[in-house]
Structure 1
């Protein structure tokens, strides 16, 4: 059947055809953007963090007594808790901190070299008030200088992550440099710090005691491989035994923190994936219904073709050709829909731009689904007997 005849046939069923084209266009636009979001979410989740995600446990705790949220009682409580945690079998290191890595946001400040503020100022650098075992907990590597020790507690000595040090001091040796946050004594390997920092791998670490803990503080625990669940089950009781007057949040592995950070992207990608699957299913049902109804209507026409010598393969191809052309036209409008939807989503979330090849790949997927849905009605059309069909003439 020629394209002209197929178009005339479609125009005879304007409303049904228009609805089918609209459905195919929306399906293509939704599937394309779902695939983009799923890909972006996977890249976020799979990106290197510099952390042993399954070996680090985190929990936020908060003293219920106001007197224990300030020094010197606060340090006494933290030290008791850490001492108890470090005795748990399977624990390799434990430390407190004002915040944990791999979060949406947290404590941050600007950082600049003392005598080059205008040239070196960096905004939103996460800073960690913590203790001497933090490097063992995080598993960072020493790049330059030295790590902080207990002798640095309460001093203005700081350690920077590698990328931050390079941004601040370029090719100069950062060790011994003076900043508004303190003197740099060392540089450690990068780790994923805060999502909305100037750079996600920036971090400045010092041993300044926490003056207050009105919002609580974080306890981070490094465990041996395969011991995270065993330690997790004991952690809450151990913390509470060390100090009963304590609010304790849910103990989370670092990979669970990561999933929490990217929850909106993962959730939206999952939702759109489900909707895309449903849209493809509905498109297949619509294509089946459209082809089946049309096959029943064109029995007389098929009978004439068969009587004139048309083969079953030719009849099958004619029915499928109409479905293919409808899908191609719907996909043409769908390309506009997918770009429009992509622009709208980009205003509220992070989503990649639509590559040229993806709508084409989705078109192939749509054609496959429509072909599968149309195959049975097309086979019905091929079974029409010329003798039976021509009795209506």
Structure 2
């Protein structure tokens, strides 16, 4: 078993359901310290964060990831226990195998080989590891970035190890992500007998929803698909069939491109509510900003290393959900997401190819060579 797969197994065997770290980061810190990394625990509230650096000056190339995982779901539906890290038929099984303990293992073994061959490398290498990515993401990467800003310690380049492959390792890299803007909307009416309705909030909500679903928010751009509006929950009613409810609650989310701003979204939605003469309350969720790194030396280096290892030129994508790259990119860092296949993430029987992990570690090492050797 390779050093990369062995380390990934050790991490999987720690039951780090978000926001728990379950000892993953101390394991990583001990291993990194052996090759000259200065390791610092930055813990906030119940969240564990590890900031590890080797070298000084610039450029600073950072590997970013998370040790927390989503819950397992029904244990009896797993082919292998989710926290044992079983290897069978070339696949490593377990919660976090692909998302993203496998990538973290690749970070470490890539750094070990690189440092052995280039002990006096240029610039600095960093690892930013959190246990608060799968949850609310309040006390994780964003808080570490605040500390680094206070220290005036800018990140120049960052590889986020989120699963990015669609069919084969390296077929896709993420060069950006759409933003996420969500809210809980409460439209108020007047509760009463259904035979004598005064102001039915469901009827008002129906008009609002119909109009919001028809809005063209933007047309996207060459790298981002257009902004989309999606409903996730609607709740109203008292449980009785002859009562008009006093209010209706609506949860919605927009995944938005850089062609529109948070202020634009708020204004347009509130304008629709006003035109439908709604009495309403709206509570906006914490904003996730879009980001993109679409061209430059770093993107080219990542693509070149993938092609050298796999023979494939990766597609540059901005699809999918959000990631912790959103906290790093606004500081001016070039951010690329590259990890294993994403076909089993968050699923029962999550797994990853052991050969892919070994190859991914080689690709990460190649990026270090290109940028810091």
TMscore range, shorter length: under 0.3
TM-score (norm 1): 0.21
Identify, as 1 or 2, the structure richer in strand.
2
TM-score (norm 2): 0.22
> Considering only CA atoms, is the larger Rg found in Structure 1 or Structure 2?
1
Identify, as 1 or 2, the structure richer in helix.
1
